[in-house]
Amino acid sequence: MMRSSNKPYVCWRCLTAKTSLAPVPGGSRFVPQLQQGPSDISRRSYAGARHKYGGGGGGGGRRRGGPITPASDQELAHIREKSDIRERLREWESANREPSRRLLQDMPAQEHPLSNFLTRPDLPFAASEGEGEEGSELHRNSRRNRVLFEADELADLRGATSALLAGDLVETRYGHGRLPVLGICLGRHHGLQYFYISTGEVVPERNIPTLFTLTNFVDPAKLQPLVAILPEEPVTKPRNVLFHNHTPAALATASRLQGELIKFYQDSVSFYQSHLTLDTASSFLAHPEKPQYLSLEELADKLLPEYLKQEDRFLPHALYAVHTAVQRDELGFRPLNAKWHRRNYIYEVRPASDLRIMRKVESQVRELVEGAALREDPAESLSLLRQNSLGSFILKARGVIQASRLRREWTPHGMIGPSDEKVDNLASWTRQEVDYIRFMELWSCHRIVTKASQLESLGSTILRLTNAYKDADWLAHWMGFTFLQEIGWIPPWDIPARYEYRFPDTRVHRGADMLMPLVDVNGSLRPDIAEGHRRDWAGTTVFCVDSEHTADVDDGFSVEPTEDPGAHWIHVHIADPASRIDPKSELARQLEKAPSSLYLAGFPNKMLPRDLEQEFSLDPGRPALTFSAKVNERGDMLDYKVEPGTLRNVLHVPKDEVAAILPGGGGGGGPQQQPPPTPSAADTFAVGRPPAAPPRPVKRITTAADLAQKDRDDLVLLDRLCAALKDRRVEKGQLPHFQPRFGSPEVSFDSVVVRGDPDVLDSSLAWQGDPFIKLAWRHPTAADRLVERLMHTAGEVAAEWCRARRIPVPYSTQPEALRNLDELAAFRRAHVDPVAARGEPVPVDVLHGLFALVGTSELSADPAPFYSVGLDAYAKASSPLRRFADLVVHWQIHAALARERATGRSLAGHDCSDAPDLLPWTRRALAPALPVLQALQRQIKQVDNRDGPTQWAAQALLRAWRFREAPLPARFAFVVDGLYPFGLRGRLEDFRGLAASVDLASLDPVARLADVHVDDRFEVEIHDINVVTAQVSVRPLRRLAPDDAVASSA
């Protein structure tokens, strides 16, 4: 029994011991002997025992005694009668009573991005049933769980498993654990991907995160005995198929696969141990100041000697050894988001300056923690905090936080409150203090550590020692985000999505736009490659249909009759910066590193320098590369061509003006064109002070009333031809249009006054006022569909023109869809086409099944069918002002056109794939660059289309809910999308489908989790909002019938 130094508690056995602890063979090392002689125990014997045993027998352990004499029944009865230990313990508990609380929950009771790595170890795959006990009602009901997809993400942000083929080797981890597990893909069977895992199990996985992939590791034919035992319905208790059906052939195959995995792993370990420099990879690769972004192959090129290559590449086990090395170095390397990749990761290599800061903070925190163990209340101990520079920084930060809270209210929601008060005094920081702020920025904003990292505790310890967040439930990274706001390092409305951009040589600046490297633009330009060979489009009206405020206009279109009755040329005119930008220039290399314009609300950043963008944005007299398709009324493409030209008559017509001209008005024509039902809430929702005046159009605008009748007729003709093209594409699999939950919000900083300079790193900043945030629900119109179909036409022409000449460009492909054509056709006939024919939105659970079959979109240097658009070949070519991949297509086409003009012969039918004297990008150069390009594109799309808008929406909702900046319903309708051990995930039906969750504790009074099903509806009220993680927690009030409405309330 433990006792404090001032209370002489010892266990009753020790009280009866007269001699020391003695060794006992075969049992515990030391046990006390009972005292010999009289057993009259008094209170004085407690005091004597205190000195004799000195805290549990440590003193007596130095003596040796005889054999143990067990206590007799009479002695034991006497001890129990005389001892008052229980009464004294009760008295102590009453005097020192504290409410009991669980320090660490074993499993989450609410949804939050934290995991238990202390008491919840990694489990075997078959033992991990994420939806509860197998066979339970919860497990059965949760099989319909689904993932919500967002409009343009549909083609790019899907499960990684669909890219895997039978025989591929993968490395994965259970949940967010640290234990790597190898597996072999058995292929897709009965709607699920099955894997043989190195734990000896065969398990199904819908979306397994792959950290390392090796294609064709095993011949798929050798997997047949395991494939033969796979059930049509997944087995349970456990999920391991081999547990339920282990035929001799299946066991023999499993044994052979296990041997293959063991051999691969042993080869990798042996290679690792013979190249011990891999352990110091970060110190060898780290740049002094800038992060680097390298693929696994690029890391191997830098870390391993060239002579180890065979056929110009490293062996797979050597690459896995490099992968293992960088995974172990959590300070120096971090794999980027898994959603951006389909094969192997791209790694971020931290700069040496950040490594120095993290190691310094680790040392300083350790000193404070060791000192805290000796103090009753460490956060209040000035002597503790003054013992090193980190402690002094914490004391200084306390004062700055207290001053901040006089103006802006602290909240536990990941942001501080709004304020219009002027700030006069700005905090200043020493160089050492800036290092500590930088660590907090790396931890809470850039999220450079993985969830399972021990480094998470460093930031939490700093927050705890500030003594400023005692009311917070979690001292997690979102509270670190609040800390940086309160000390004036980042704006009170900053969103973490900004810090997810990962581009070489760029930096996300605090409270300002991203800093891009300076480039010699003039030195990167060349003479017009098509000079003297451009078609003059005088007499042709070119329609540019976009927003009034779009400055980078990179596409327009026109129509031209032909000599063939019923056939017309559809011309898609694209801006032509590729004709002047040298593909081998410094600017081209920089564009490859940041390959797209950024459209994050509040923080836009264009791909091209603004002057260059305006020089090529479509307008009268500007150059264009035109993609033309000869089309008849049935939607057949009879011919195509690509030619450079100069536009003369350009009309900028807003989309709503074009929609007013086309059949069906704003809603489009026909039953398939109907927009989804209007949400019950208003179409717009805003907080903050709106801009004083709406922004003026950046170009001359033409309205529908200004158009001549011929122009109106041309727009109607184009719409009819494009509708016919769409029908042909639907026959080849083109998917219906999907409605996004909400578009990019409008964010304005016009009412914000900033004091301080972001470039002065030794000073804080201050912000007076808060941004205006406006969320809008915009229904797609006939004009949106017309523009989309025209862009698909341009991509089809570009791909067909390049395919005829075997020119490598970034073709969009969907290899998984090609393998699942029969299943896709059956699924669409049964579930998708009937809904689309009625003009209704496709249910989300149907989308989940559809996209599991369609698979991922991949960039390829070789053409292949693109199922989602219904084309035999497709290459995006409509936005060279905004996307680097489109610019590559234009460079390749211009080079081929120049050669054809020089020789007077077409290159159609020739193989131009590896002609360095002809093309800027040969296939040998382009193919390995495409995975990195695609990863960067997915990164940008996730930030701009998903994370950024969702975080702005959560911030606007918080300001309306907590600070009453806008009217907000007290109750919402919550639709269930998934059941999980922590509760429910779903969406707010009457607030633009914003994602929300219900934790188990708040659900219990209303319904049992096992009785809830996907698509059930609840009336809820907001319980909590985390703007950093964009999580909205709601409390259910009652269950709703399918047709019930939410009770009206203010």
Same domain, yes or no: 558 and 593: yes
**pLDDT: is 6 or 257 the higher one?**
257
Query: Which residues have C-beta within 8 Å of that of residue 616, sequence separation ≥ 6?
Result: 554, 575, 576, 577, 580, 608, 622, 623, 881
Same domain, yes or no: 688 and 808: yes
Same domain, yes or no: 224 and 147: yes
pTM: 0.83
pLDDT in tens, 707-742: 999 999 999 999 999 999 999 999 888 887 766 656
Domain assignment present for 589: yes
Domain assignment present for 623: yes
pLDDT for 271 beyond 90 = yes
Domain assignment present for 476: yes
Q: Residue 100 has what pLDDT?
A: 63
**Is residue 395 very low, low, confident or very high in pLDDT (cuts 50, 70, 90)?**
very high
- Chain centroid to Cα 646, Å, comes to 42
pLDDT in tens, 511-569: 778 888 889 999 999 999 999 999 999 999 999 999 888 889 999 999 999 998 889 99
- Sign of the torsion angle spanned by Cα atoms 946, 947, 950, 953: negative
Q: Residue 316 has what pLDDT?
A: 94
- pLDDT > 90 fraction of the chain, expressed in percent and rounded: 55
Q: Which domain holds residue 306?
A: 276-349
Q: Residue 497 has what pLDDT?
A: 92
Domain assignment present for 501: no
pLDDT for 919 beyond 50 = yes
Q: Token pair of 645, please?
A: 């030209």
Same domain, yes or no: 553 and 634: yes
**Is residue 68 very low, low, confident or very high in pLDDT (cuts 50, 70, 90)?**
low
Q: Residue 739 has what pLDDT?
A: 62
Q: Residue 112 has what pLDDT?
A: 58
Q: Which of 263-272, 284-293, 740-749 has the lowest mean pLDDT?
A: 740-749
pLDDT in tens, 821-833: 888 889 988 988 8
Q: Which of 106-110, 351-355, 581-585, 1011-1015 has the lowest mean pLDDT?
A: 106-110
The runs of H, that is alpha helices, within 776-867 are 782-804, 815-819, 821-827, 833-837, 844-854
The stretch 195-212 carries a mean pLDDT of: 86
Assess contact for 779 and 826: CB atoms under 8 A: no
DSSP codes joined into one string, 325-376: HHHH-TTTEEEPPGGG-SSS-EEEE--HHHHHHHHHHHHHHHHHHHHHTT-S
Q: Residue 63 has what pLDDT?
A: 41
pLDDT for 483 beyond 90 = yes
Q: Which of 8-17, 291-300, 374-383, 962-971 has the lowest mean pLDDT?
A: 8-17
Omega before residue 740 within 30° of 0, cis: no
The stretch 269-289 carries a mean pLDDT of: 92
Same domain, yes or no: 904 and 975: no
Assess contact for 642 and 625: CB atoms under 8 A: yes
The stretch 903-925 carries a mean pLDDT of: 94
- Chain centroid to Cα 328, Å, comes to 22
pLDDT for 207 beyond 80 = no
DSSP codes joined into one string, 463-483: HHHHT--TT-S--SHHHHHHH
Last residue of a domain, one of 274, 307, 338: 274
pLDDT for 40 beyond 80 = no
Helix 431-444 with 477-486: angle, nearest 10 deg: 140
Q: Token pair of 677, please?
A: 């039902």
CA 992/CA 1026 separation, integer angstroms: 18
- The number of distinct structural domains making up the chain is 6
The stretch 183-200 carries a mean pLDDT of: 89
Same domain, yes or no: 234 and 280: no
Q: Residue 92 has what pLDDT?
A: 84
Q: Residue 155 has what pLDDT?
A: 35
Last residue of a domain, one of 349, 381, 401: 349
Which of 697, 708, 348, 371 is closest to 553 using CA atoms? 697
Last residue of a domain, one of 274, 303, 336: 274
Check which CATH number belongs to the domain holding 1018 and give it: 2.40.50.140
Q: Quote the mean pLDDT of the chain.
A: 83
Phi-psi region of 237 (alpha: psi -120 to 50; beta: other; left: phi over 0): left
Query: Which residues have C-beta within 8 Å of that of residue 29, sequence separation ≥ 6?
Result: 23
Which of the listed ranges 129-133, 848-852, 877-881, 946-950 does the model predict with the highest average pLDDT?
Answer: 877-881
pLDDT in tens, 741-773: 567 899 999 999 999 988 888 999 999 999 999
Same domain, yes or no: 228 and 89: no
Domain assignment present for 1046: no
**Is residue 22 very low, low, confident or very high in pLDDT (cuts 50, 70, 90)?**
very low
Same domain, yes or no: 61 and 142: no
pLDDT in tens, 966-1022: 999 999 999 998 888 788 999 998 887 888 999 988 998 999 988 999 889 999 999
**Is residue 8 very low, low, confident or very high in pLDDT (cuts 50, 70, 90)?**
very low
Same domain, yes or no: 262 and 315: no
Domain assignment present for 256: yes
Beta bridge partners of 555: 574
Helix 923-942 with 586-593: angle, nearest 10 deg: 50
- Chain centroid to Cα 42, Å, comes to 68
Same domain, yes or no: 902 and 1015: no
Q: Residue 912 has what pLDDT?
A: 95
The stretch 850-868 carries a mean pLDDT of: 89
**Is residue 135 very low, low, confident or very high in pLDDT (cuts 50, 70, 90)?**
very low
Domain assignment present for 214: yes
What secondary structure, in 3-state letters, does 706-760 show?
Answer: HCCHHHHHHHHHHHHHHHHHHHHHHHCCCCCCCCCCCCCCEEECCCCEEECCCCC
> What is the CB neighbour count within 10 angstroms for residue 685?
22
Same domain, yes or no: 472 and 393: yes
Q: Residue 158 has what pLDDT?
A: 37
pLDDT for 58 beyond 70 = no
- Chain centroid to Cα 199, Å, comes to 29
- pLDDT > 70 fraction of the chain, expressed in percent and rounded: 83
Domain assignment present for 264: yes
pLDDT in tens, 645-687: 999 999 999 999 999 999 865 433 333 444 434 444 457 899 9
Same domain, yes or no: 250 and 287: no
